[in-house]
A and B are shown apart, each in its own frame.
Chain A
Amino acid sequence: AIQMTQSPSSVSASVGDRVTITCRASQGIRNDLGWYQQKPGKAPTLLIYSASTLQSGVPSRFSGSGSGTDFTLTINSLQPEDFATYYCLQDHNYPCTFGQGTKLEIK
C-alpha cells in the first residue's frame, strides 16, 4: 500500500498567519490527492481534490499544490474557524491511504 507521510503532526499559529502542511507519498500518485478538514466531533469535509482544485464552497484562502510524491496545503490569513485537524488522502489506487493528520491549534 502507498504510505502517506504528513507533517507536521501539530502546529500552533495565530489568526492572520499563513500555515503550510505537507504530505509525501511513498510512490508517485500523479495528482490523486485530497485534503480534508475535521473539527472535533464532526465528520471530515473535503477542501481540495486533485491536489489543487478547491471544492465548491471552500474559501479561497485554502490552496493546494504538488504532483507525484510531494504535496502541500496552504492556508492564508488563518481565521478562527480554521483551527481543526487536516488530513491528506491518496486515491491513486486501492487501498486508499490517509496521512497521519495535522492538528492546527491557536497560539
Chain B
Amino acid sequence: EVQLVQSGAEVKKPGESLKISCKASGYSFTNYWIAWVRQMPGKGLEWMGIIYPSDSDTRYSPSFQGQVTISADKSISTAYLQWSSLKASDIAVYYCVRHGTAFDIWGQGTLVTVSS
C-alpha cells in the first residue's frame, strides 16, 4: 500500500526548534516530489514547499522561504519539515503529500502546538 505516515503531535514553546517527519512506503521514494501543506486552525490549505528526494532539489513558496526548512533522507524514505525558532503563529496541522498525478497521496497530518 502506498502511504505517507507522519510523526505525532508536538507541543513546543516559542523559540524552540522542531523537526517533523513523513515516512513513505509502498513506492519508490526517490521518483516523486514531496510537498508540505499548512492548515492553520479553521483556515484553508497553504502550499509551503516541495522537495525531490533523489537530489534534494527544493522549492519554497515565498511566504515560507526562510521560515522553514524542507529536507529528505532517501536512505530511510523520509521527508522532513523543520523550524529553528517556533512562533505562536506556527500553530497548525502540517501535511506532507506526494506529487504523482497531482498531489495524490497525503499523510495523516501533524498537529503542531506552540504555547508558553
Residues of A bordering B, CB below 8 Å: 1, 34, 36, 38, 43-46, 49-50, 53, 55, 87, 89, 91, 94-101
Q: Given the complex of chains A and B, what is the CA–CA distance between A46 and B97 in angstroms?
A: 11
Residues B95 and A100 in contact, CB atoms below 8 Å apart: no
For B109, give the chain A residue with the smallest CB separation: A43
Q: Given the complex of chains A and B, what is the CA–CA distance between A94 and B57 in angstroms?
A: 13
Q: Given the complex of chains A and B, what is the CA–CA distance between A87 and B104 in angstroms?
A: 14
Residues B47 and A43 in contact, CB atoms below 8 Å apart: no
* Distance of B81 from chain A, by nearest CB (Å): 15
* Distance of A104 from chain B, by nearest CB (Å): 14
**B62 within 8 Å of A (CB atoms):** yes
Chain B contacts for A101, CB-based, 8 A: 44-45
Q: Given the complex of chains A and B, what is the CA–CA distance between A100 and B42 in angstroms?
A: 12
Q: Given the complex of chains A and B, what is the CA–CA distance between A101 and B50 in angstroms?
A: 21
Query: Given known contacts A87-B44, A96-B47, is B103 in contact with A1 (CB within 8 Å)?
Result: no
Interface size on B, residues (CB 8 A): 23
Residues of B bordering A, CB below 8 Å: 35, 37, 44-47, 49-50, 59-62, 95, 97, 99, 101-104, 106-109
Q: Given the complex of chains A and B, what is the CA–CA distance between A45 and B106 in angstroms?
A: 7
Q: Given the complex of chains A and B, what is the CA–CA distance between A97 and B63 in angstroms?
A: 11
Chain B contacts for A36, CB-based, 8 A: 45, 103
Residues B106 and A44 in contact, CB atoms below 8 Å apart: yes
Query: Given known contacts A44-B106, A94-B50, is B101 in contact with A49 (CB within 8 Å)?
Result: yes
Residues A95 and B62 in contact, CB atoms below 8 Å apart: yes
Residues B102 and A91 in contact, CB atoms below 8 Å apart: yes
Residues A98 and B106 in contact, CB atoms below 8 Å apart: no
* Distance of B57 from chain A, by nearest CB (Å): 11
For A53, give the chain B residue with the smallest CB separation: B101
For A38, give the chain B residue with the smallest CB separation: B45
Residues B45 and A87 in contact, CB atoms below 8 Å apart: yes
Query: Given known contacts A43-B108, A44-B45, A101-B44, is B95 in contact with A34 (CB within 8 Å)?
Result: no
